Structure 1
């Protein structure tokens, strides 16, 4: 799908979108991560909200505990802004940990690990740390579960009115984000491509979807807007504007930036290593090729087939994790055997290994693909064409609970 350029600059276009959001939706809030994109969106939304007499601006942030200190400082400044009604959520959420096979998930603000917390709970009246504050909350919820549930709760707090959540994603950031914008199957508000229905009462709006990275920093400089100062440290560390990322540091993709955490804020890094299993191992090896983290080329141990190696790897795992992977692998094999019988693909069996390019394109089943998923700590088995769903998250928590009770 080709891009169609508008006859206005991105700043003007974003303002026009925000004006339409405030005009069309009785209830509006902004999803904030303290990163560069949500930061510039926040500053722009405050401009429009002042003109529309829609202050204070409701803002949601999920504080995931393992943050840069500069990020915590930036959130504090936003919380202190009288024009912002910040929902500063510091609750025990279940988060992905892709640098450890022993602890593939961890829980931020876990009350049972208080002595290991990276930071003390922020001392601010806008902090929400009471697990009973939200009627929908349960300890160990996934981030992806909490966000839509909050949207529905927020709508209910405003009489069940139609609600808009402004989200600072840009289509240039990734192919998935571009697809979020151009997906023609989604339900939109008034046919605006930069909106999508996420729950019965809540639409997401992406007012800066067409901004480039340069636009973000041009706006900050031109208008003197506040931003997360950790980006200044990233610049001094030699990162380009396009390589600067701010996110939960232990995710499947995010773990690539762990080395930077150690350099930018060593004091915080020391606490992170003590807090999350595999953090130091991950920052040392995550960019290496080979079997340690399953990157690029993996090697078969002498005397093994890939099928036998996969079974060996499963046997070395904690019980609940091995069961999780076995169920995924069984489903992967079942689907492929069905497709082979139907002649859907030009393959005649589950191979031990196949053409690496075909494997990478997920066009052929092989036990080497299975091994790579295990070595990469690919918990959701994306390398086997699975994805993370709410149903999968429920199954995951049930498995963990089952083995904790043994």
Structure 2
């Protein structure tokens, strides 16, 4: 049974093109930024350049309190209280920094999110703010969000996120109180963190993350393919960092690292108590596209096919339980995603890894990567 279709899918709108495009920052409401990861690849046009961390502007210095005050006023609500004194810090290896906090009843939800991701409390200290609140606008999905001057909104059934064009500070509405929807809303709110890392050259992936002696391998695969089983079977010195979703980031030195992220199905359906060290970043050595098979086998995957498979995998992290976000920057998000997938495919080895129920697939990885 084939679990990955390495042809470009037509199922999610316009197909990507394996050529350089003007990378748009419009999912944060910004302008066009010419950029072309993987310029060494002959598939790209001349004039493209390698990722350069100097291209990334600093985290906006603007204080979010005045902006959130203005947002509440435009929505016809009473002014919000000052930013909560309690919040949780998230620092990623690409230099992005976040401060998560909640207003009212959502404070307890943020505290739960912080526990799942092993985040420590601390001061904001200039980090981008992800502030949670209860529903402010009419219930959805049947009521569209209002159009507000100077504001963008990204909407999914389980949340609405408001932000200023060109800034990362975000106010997230969580309208539901049922446990499943609360966890789904917290999971979906990570979209805003992913967006900033994507803008910096990163890529969220649907897959397990495993490591051996400080080097990580991404096991990319759709659901029910055996990612969790593979993680459980790994012997020492292999480690399983996460089994469902991780964020690849581009470090200041131009090398890829990956952060493990939670397996949210544990909380949506099983009320799990697992936690993940999300701030741990491990250098990424390779990407493997996982398949079930009668016998173990490994073979290289070409850059073009790897780019398309990475693109599809990354989009899976965007569409939670088939609930598509609505935002005018979706086309730009897809362009960023494909450009970054192409860059990753040209700079790291990729393999098709066929895994049986009883084989020793990790030995194939050791051999393919020269680790034995």
TM range (shorter): under 0.3
More contact order relative to length (CA 8 Å, sep ≥ 6): 2
**Would you tell me which structure has more strand in proportion to its own residues?**
2
The structure with more radius of gyration: 1
Structure 2 length-normalised TM: 0.26
